Amino acid sequence: MHVCYLCSEYPPAPHGGIGTFCQVLAREVVRSGHRASVVGLYAESFRSEDDQGVRVLRIARGGVPVLRSASHLWRLHAALRELHRQDPIDIIEGAEIDLYVVNKSFPAVKVLRMHGGPTFFDTGKRIQVWKERRSFAVAARLCAVSHCVAEGTRNMLHLGPVPIEVIPNPVNTDQFSPDPDTVEEGLIVFAGTVIPRKGIRELIQAMPAVVAAVPGARLEVYGGEAIDPPPRNSLTAQLRASLAPEVARRIEWKGRVPREVLPQALRRASVCVYPSYIEAMPIAWIEAMAAGKAVVASRTGPGPELIDDGVTGLLCDPYDPASIAAQLIRALADPALNRQLGKAARHTAMERYALPKIVQRNLDYYSSLVEPGRLSRDPAILRP
């Protein structure tokens, strides 16, 4: 079986959760004896590379501005046709704004995986909304990384009763694992892009209360801004300027770091905090759970789907700094509760999100789509 992923943020290019997910799954598809390829647009000249058996085709962005979108579409079409000629593609998968580049007549099963598109996150950019609607029109099958994003998108786009397979994001429980000997008392870790939707402003506003209640509390922020390099008056700069000196010295802004740094950063934490307004299925939360951490996360979005409040973590109101502070203080001030939450979180990560289990669920799903008689002839079942 040959699975082709459409992804324009495949590491080591600047990437978020979709890029991480794509790389992890594609590598595991290859390790399972299948073929995997990735096609996407990148800010570099065209090149083909091998990533642990995954064939990665990085198509160059650019061209005359007025014709740029058409040029990108033509380049991606050409790359897919040539890849299919060399090694017939059985399944082609993309996220909400990625599958639009595929023609309905392309001879492969077209799978749209919902990671949270422009409608779900209410980004509202016209070109992104068009790409999303085009992608759903092309898709033959739908899957999603959480029930939250599946049903939220179903309602927002009026998809009706079309079936949506839910397969959560995986975590490497060997890479993200506990190490009690490295835990630093009072250390809070946040990992994510520094944008308002991640609740970083409310987290910073919560820190004075946390520092007052827990004298040893301090925060490390791992993640850069969406714009790289950030503008002079960036959100990070605004938040740093808003802090009193005694709180500012308790917060360390690590910026964008290599992914390899994160497992050890999580192991050092006493508590991990993710007060996002909305998420689809946040990999960062699952990684912290796998590391055996007490996680303070949002009760909005998929929060209750991932975390049993008071059992495998603590849920807060992401719009309320006082709620964030209260849950952080609760986790930091009660060592027994902290250990109990971390142990339960690790168990949940192992049972529900461990990489081998999620990879097998994906392979079973793919195999169900390419049964004899269905291979490369699965018609689109959605409408624009």
Contact 170, 355 (CB under 8 A): yes
Q: Could you tell me where in the chain the CATH 3.40.50.2000 domains are found?
A: 2-168+356-369, 180-353
- Cα Dmax for the chain: 68
Q: Which of 292, 294, 271 is nearest to 178 (CA)?
A: 292
- Domain 180-353 belongs to what topology? Rossmann fold (3.40.50)
Contact 68, 62 (CB under 8 A): yes
- Residue type for position 227: I
Contact 214, 332 (CB under 8 A): yes
Q: According to the model, what pLDDT value does residue 382 have?
A: 39
Cα angle 225-229-232, degrees, rounded to a multiple of 5 = 85
Residue-by-residue pLDDT tens, the chain, 384 positions: 999 999 999 998 888 889 999 999 999 999 999 999 999 999 877 789 999 999 999 998 876 655 677 888 888 989 999 999 999 999 999 999 999 989 888 999 999 999 999 999 987 678 888 899 999 999 999 999 999 999 999 999 999 999 999 999 999 999 999 999 999 999 999 999 999 999 999 999 999 999 999 999 999 999 988 776 777 788 999 999 999 999 999 999 999 898 899 999 999 999 999 999 999 999 999 999 999 999 999 999 999 999 999 999 999 999 999 999 999 999 999 999 999 999 999 999 999 999 999 999 999 999 999 865 444 434 443 332
2-168+356-369: CATH class: alpha beta
**Pair type for strands 271-274 and 187-191:** parallel
Percent of the chain predicted with pLDDT > 70: 95
pTM for the complete prediction? 0.88
CB-based burial of residue 381 (10 Å sphere; 0-12 exposed, 13-18 middle, 19+ buried)? exposed
Question: In the chain, which residue ranges form alpha helices assigned H by DSSP?
Answer: 17-31, 68-86, 118-121, 126-138, 147-157, 200-213, 235-241, 245-248, 262-268, 283-290, 303-306, 321-333, 335-348, 355-369
